[in-house]
Amino acid sequence: MPRIPAAERRAALVQAALRVVATQGVAAATTRAIVAEAGMSLASFHYAFSSRDELMHELISFVVAHEEAAVLPGPYGDASLRDIIRAGLQRYADLLRADPLREQAMLELTQQALRSEGMEPLARLQYDHYYTLAAAALTTAAEHTGTSWILPVEEVARLLVVLTDGLTVSWLVDRDDAAAASVMDFAADALAGLGRQS
Amino acid sequence: MPRIPAAERRAALVQAALRVVATQGVAAATTRAIVAEAGMSLASFHYAFSSRDELMHELISFVVAHEEAAVLPGPYGDASLRDIIRAGLQRYADLLRADPLREQAMLELTQQALRSEGMEPLARLQYDHYYTLAAAALTTAAEHTGTSWILPVEEVARLLVVLTDGLTVSWLVDRDDAAAASVMDFAADALAGLGRQS
DNA sequence: GTCTATAAAGTGATAGAC
DNA sequence: GTCTATCACTTTATAGAC
């Protein structure tokens, strides 16, 4: 292996760890599995990171920072608030169907953080990030439809995250697309009901 | 240790495993940790179970079978459908606050099942059980208020489970009681909106 | 900087005395 | 049936050659 700056090596290991966690779960993300995925030797791992915990910490920070707002953005046209929300949820569902293991990995990493001494703040950061992304998307959607939220947008954002979280878990368990569609219909109706023409 | 029938020993080990999973997480539920919790020797474990996998299998079956319908039942009086649902959600939230690690353990066990070869059906069984419990409670609540659901009750049940699941995850992350109350208000309003006087 | 080799500790599972 | 002792293996982490 050529000499690679430590920073690059760290990044490569984080990427490899994410792939291992997604395909095989957190429990299978041993240092050996990670370096194998990255095509490195075991010693290189500890040259870049002082411990496996340090990598997991950085991995969670990484996924938190790079989680995109995949839910609401999209071409709005002259769609209603309800339809914008429904379409956004559909985009998320499509993403989930396309890469279920990735979303499963996100859930596992959250729980891993909640169980690891000193990493709970990372889980909180992860969800704060979700709420922020959701609030931004909901604000844009409201603006495009000339509506305003009858609750603080932060509360609506939390509802959206709660609904997508629950949707994710239930779909991962039984992969029932029809049931998921029913949930999304309900969610779009209910959330749009929190908007008023202004 | 006195001679204990294998069935009792298995039950005791399952109980011990559940305590370990709840307090320290699935990853920490090693055979040694479990027998220590149960006050047995390591060899006793393999006398009762042929493998750790067999125990985990039985543990998940056990929690699935014993999960109670804690959500909706309660004194109804002449409360509205909305208030019955809201009160049921509150009872669940109180349960969650009283024993957060237990609910966290349930989520972890679900994900463990989804990741383990051949155990996915158990996760599906777990959620089928949730849906059944929720549907029964919703049916009773509708009967007591002379309403009927405008959707199949199975779909409403799934919505209730999705909402409580999402509520659970978000509360476990930030322990924000006020936000949880806001989510429950929304959920009760939205679900009650699916009932019509009949 | 990168490797091989190995240490030190933990894992599930078993053998064999009693 | 129940125990102690131990096997075979995997884990994280490090030492030391190059």
Whether residue A46 is found in the same domain as residue A139: no
Could you tell me the CATH number of the domain that includes residue A17? 1.10.10.60
Beta-bridge mates of residue A196:
A148
Going through chain B in order, the beta strands assigned E by DSSP cover 147-149, 195-197
Calculate the alpha carbon distances from A179 to A174, B101, B126, B152 in Å: 9, 29, 17, 11
What is the predicted pLDDT for the residue at A76?
A: 78
Whether A1 shows a pLDDT value over 70: the answer reads no
Residue B145 falls inside a structural domain: yes
Q: Residue B44 corresponds to which tokens in the numbers above? A: 């006793």
Asked if residue B149 and residue B111 are part of one domain, the reply reads yes
A39-50 mean pLDDT: 96
Same-domain status, A72 and A49: no
Has residue A1 been placed in a domain? Answer: no
Are the Cβ atoms of A166 and B161 closer than 8 angstroms? yes
Of B161, B174, B193, the CB nearest to A170: B161
Q: Are residues A19 and A95 in the same domain?
A: no
Check whether residue B156 and residue B181 sit in a common domain: yes
Last residue of some domain: A28, A49, A64?
A64
Domain presence at residue A100: yes
| Cα–Cα distance measured from residue A27 to residue B52, given in angstroms and rounded to the nearest whole number | 15
Residue B47: which nucleotide is closest by CA–C1'? D1
* Pair (A123, A184) in one structural domain: yes
Q: Is residue A55 part of a domain?
A: yes
**Looking at the structure, do residues A110 and A178 belong to the same domain, yes or no?**
yes
Domain for residue A51, yes or no?
yes
Separation CA A94–CA A117 (nearest Å): 35
Query: Which residues of A lie inside 8 Å of B (Cβ-Cβ)?
Result: 24-27, 104, 107-108, 110-111, 114-115, 123-124, 126-127, 151, 155, 158-159, 161-167, 169-170, 172-174, 179, 182-183, 186, 189-190, 193-194
Q: Which residues contact B104 (CB under 8 A, 6 or more apart)?
A: A111, A114, A115, B22, B172
Which CATH number belongs to the domain containing residue B186 in this structure? 1.10.357
The reply to whether B106 falls in a domain is: yes
The reply to whether the CB atom of residue A1 sits less than 7 A from any atom in nucleic acid chain C is yes
Give yes or no: residues A87 and A20 share one domain.
no
- In this structure, is residue A89 part of a structural domain? yes
CA A15 – CA A13 distance, rounded (Å)? 5
Report how far apart the first and last C-alpha atoms of chain A are (Å, whole number): 62
Q: Are residues B15 and B106 in the same domain?
A: no
Q: Is A14 in the same domain as A57?
A: yes
- Name the residue range of residue B20's domain: 6-59
Number of domains into which chain A is organized: 2
A134 and A102 share a domain?
A: yes
Residue B198 has pLDDT above 90, yes or no: no
Q: In chain B, whose CA is at the least distance from the CA of A119?
A: B173
pLDDT in tens, A147-188: 999 999 999 999 999 999 999 999 999 999 999 999 999 999
Where is the domain boundary, B33, B59, B85? B59
List the single residue in B108, B155, B169 with the smallest CB-CB distance to A165.
B169
> In terms of domains, do A102 and A118 share one?
yes
Inside any domain, residue B1? no
Pairing outcome for strands A147-149 and A195-197: antiparallel
pLDDT digits (tens, 9 = 90+) for B66-99: 877 666 677 778 999 999 999 999 999 999 999 9
Name the residue in chain A with its Cα closest to that of B193: A190
Considering CB atoms only, which of A127, A182, A193 is closest to B170?
A127
